[in-house]
Each structure stands twice: as C-alpha cells, then as structure tokens.
Amino acid sequence: MVKKSKSRISQKKKTQSKKIIKKVKAAIANPTKIKAKEKKKVEKKLPAKKVAKVKEKKEEIQKTLYMLTAEEMKQINELLTRPIVRQTLIDVGGENALAIIRNFDRALSDEEIAKRLKLKISDVRATLNSLHSEGLVMYDRYKDNETGWYSYSWWLNKERIFKWVEEKTKKFSVAASSNGSEHYVCPFCGVSTIVDFSNAMDKNFRCDICGKPLEYLDEELMQKLGIVETKTFVRVLK
C-alpha cells in the first residue's frame, strides 16, 4: 500500500511538472495570447457595476476629447449660413445633415443625436454614414461584453469640414462666354441649377429640382448666392 501511494504521488508530480513545462513553452511561443487570456479572466472577475462605471468614464473622456470650443462652434455655424455649403451638405447627407452637424458640440452617440433632434434613429444613422463617407464625421466603436452589441460615438471632423467645403465650392463653376451671355438660376435650389439662356428655354424656365421658376442671374442674386463673375466664367465664392 505504501509503495502504491508513493508511486501515485510521483505520478502526480510528473503530470504537474509536464503542465508547467507546457505553459512555459506556450508563453515563450505566444506571450500575447497568454496576456489576453489573463486579461479576460480579470474582466470576468470584475463586478458588472464596476465594468459599467469604467465604460461610463471612458465615454466621458471621449466626449471631452472631441469637444468643440465656442469659437469653433461659431465658425461652423457661419459656414452653414452660406447657401452653397448648405445645398452641398444636403445633397450629400440629406435634409437632416445641417441640423446634425450643427449639434456636434462634442462626441455623441447616434441615440443622443436622435433624442436631441427628435428624429428616427435610422434616419440619423443614414445621414451619419453619408457624412462619414466624405470624412466629415468620424466614430469610435465600443463592444458591450455582456450583450455582444456595438455602440458608436460620433464626432465632427472639424479640420476636414473646412477643407471639404473649399474643395466642393471650387467645383461649382459655370462656363460662360466672354461676351456676357445670360444665365438663369433657381434661388431656392442654389448654384447647381445655373444654366445659360438656351438651356433655360429648353427647361421652360423651370427648375429641374423643385419646379419653381428660374430667375435671371443678376449682380444682386449673385451676391445672395455667393457668386462672383469674371470675364470668362462665373465662380462660386470660397
């Protein structure tokens, strides 16, 4: 009996030593994998309330990080008063684009934006995705370990938006002959509707977008739409 118990103890020791050697080899081969496993074990041990508090703190830091100053908000609002900018943003992101951009004083979730503006969350997400495709808004993604769902924190790319406006306004130029040919525009739909006299006649002097009458593009209307005229072309002001 003594011999059997001794042999069992020695067998257990051998098994334990083999396991230790195996773990050491695994750690040498892939140290990051071991760390990841250890991290998961720690996360599992943390109480749900503590995990929620950590997540909440991270979100608060994120909001502060992308917070806009009063001066930056003023610049954005001034930008959105320009007809060409307004129309271009609506063309890209839809009718909610202006309101959503105007509300970005900090990082916001799509749920927060929908609540602020009293919009459907599906409409908010559609607009955000369109604006993101132009690089005007960015997002950070977080995973809820309990549900497995992802939440998104969106923020305005303030550096990109000014550059984007400059790029887009340069494209809104209308060719015109040097002898001063007449041009017509829909004052409601903006510079994208500018046409010469011949095309205006073909359209029966009606806007293709809203169906309202086209108006003669005189100096007063040019100034209103943010347009300047040179000898060879009509150009939208930056």
- pLDDT score, position 232: 39
| Lowest mean pLDDT segment, chosen from 49-63, 104-118, 181-195, 211-225 | 49-63
- pLDDT score, position 194: 87
Q: Work out the mean pLDDT of the chain and round it to a whole number.
A: 76
Which of these CATH numbers, 3.40.50.2030, 1.10.10.10, 3.40.190.10, 1.10.10.60, describes 66-167?
A: 1.10.10.10
How large a percentage of the chain has pLDDT more than 70? 62
Give the model confidence (pLDDT) of 37-56 as tens digits. Answer: 554 554 455 566 655 665 66
Q: How confident is the model at residue 238 (pLDDT cuts 50, 70, 90)?
A: very low
Q: How confident is the model at residue 171 (pLDDT cuts 50, 70, 90)?
A: low
Give the model confidence (pLDDT) of 64-80 as tens digits. Answer: 667 888 899 999 988 88
DSSP string spanning 122-148? HHHHHHHHHHHHTTSEEEEEEE-TTT-
Residue 30 has pLDDT above 80, yes or no: no
What is the rounded distance in angstroms from the CA atom of residue 182 to the CA atom of residue 8?
Answer: 104
Give the model confidence (pLDDT) of 183-216 as tens digits. Answer: 888 988 888 888 888 888 888 888 988 988 898 8
- pLDDT score, position 178: 38
Long-range contact set of residues 62-66: C-beta below 8 Å, sequence gap at least 24: 62/107, 62/140, 62/153, 63/106, 63/107, 63/108, 63/153, 64/106, 65/107, 66/106, 66/107, 66/155, 66/156
- pLDDT score, position 183: 85
pTM of full prediction above 0.75: no
Instruction: Give the Å distances, CA to CA, from 69 to 74, 105, 176.
Output: 9, 8, 42
| Lowest mean pLDDT segment, chosen from 75-79, 96-100, 111-115, 168-172 | 168-172
CATH 1.10.10.10 residue ranges for the chain: 66-167
